[in-house]
Amino acid sequence: MRVLGVDPGLTRCGVGVIDGVPGRALTLVGTDVIRTPPGDDIALRLLALEAGIESWLTEHQPDAVAVERVFSQHNVRTVMGTAQAGAVAILCGARRGLPVALHTPSEVKAAVTGNGRAGKEQVTEMVTRLLRMDNPPRPADSADALALAICHLWRGGAQRRLAAAVAAATVLQAAAARGGER
């Protein structure tokens, strides 16, 4: 499975692609940061992010997209920009019919390091090890994007199976309820 991880941000949007399956060694396909000038109009910045993400989708043809779920931040302006950038990534994936998953920062940290409160350095170190990279991915936005992709690859299958089980149970409950009405 190939996953594109997106660490959303207006100034620096981390992107990273990995290949792998749970239980096997992961392979780094690529990572980078899409940058937009802080002084540009928001519309132009969002268009630039869209073009950058679309380019990554076209070049790497992922099977799924994992985006960091925007969590509360103290600076409302920052959280709005992050949410807008995340929405662009979600839209790009959805436009292509790809499954798009949102993962919280603590979920990503727990998946990659075993500790949901791990620091950025710990996440970067584990991403470097898991992908057998000679040097840590820089800047941190790249490491975060790769961590999102790893998290999705390792947890996404379990989440899909759980959702399918819940849906099946709901169908069975509804059928049982209809049978009891007769």
d(CA 104, CA 126): 18
pLDDT at 73: 63
User: Which listed residue (32, 68, 134, 181) is catalytic?
Assistant: 68
pLDDT at 171: 76
Residue 100 has pLDDT above 80, yes or no: yes
The gap from C-alpha 130 to its chain's centroid, in whole angstroms, comes to 17
pLDDT at 71: 73
**Across 84-88, average pLDDT:** 97
141 is catalytic: yes
Q: Lowest mean pLDDT: which of 42-51, 77-86, 169-178?
A: 169-178
Q: Which residues pair with 5 in a beta bridge?
A: 16, 66
**Across 141-168, average pLDDT:** 77
Number of domains in the chain: 1
User: Which listed residue (19, 41, 141, 144) is catalytic?
Assistant: 141
Report the CATH number that the domain containing residue 20 is assigned in CATH.
Answer: 3.30.420.10
d(CA 118, CA 42): 32
d(CA 100, CA 152): 10
Binning pLDDT at 50, 70 and 90, where does residue 72 land?
Answer: low
Structure-model confidence comparison of residues 89 and 23, the more confident one: 89
| Mean pLDDT value across the chain | 90
d(CA 55, CA 50): 8
**Percent of the chain residues topping a pLDDT of 70:** 90
**Across 21-27, average pLDDT:** 92
pTM for this prediction: 0.85
d(CA 51, CA 42): 14
Residue 83 has pLDDT above 80, yes or no: yes
Q: pLDDT of 139-148, one tens digit each?
A: 999 999 999 9
**Domain span holding position 77:** 2-180
Biggest CA–CA distance in the chain, Å, is 67
d(CA 154, CA 136): 21
pLDDT at 162: 47
40 is catalytic: no
**Across 53-73, average pLDDT:** 93
d(CA 60, CA 62): 6
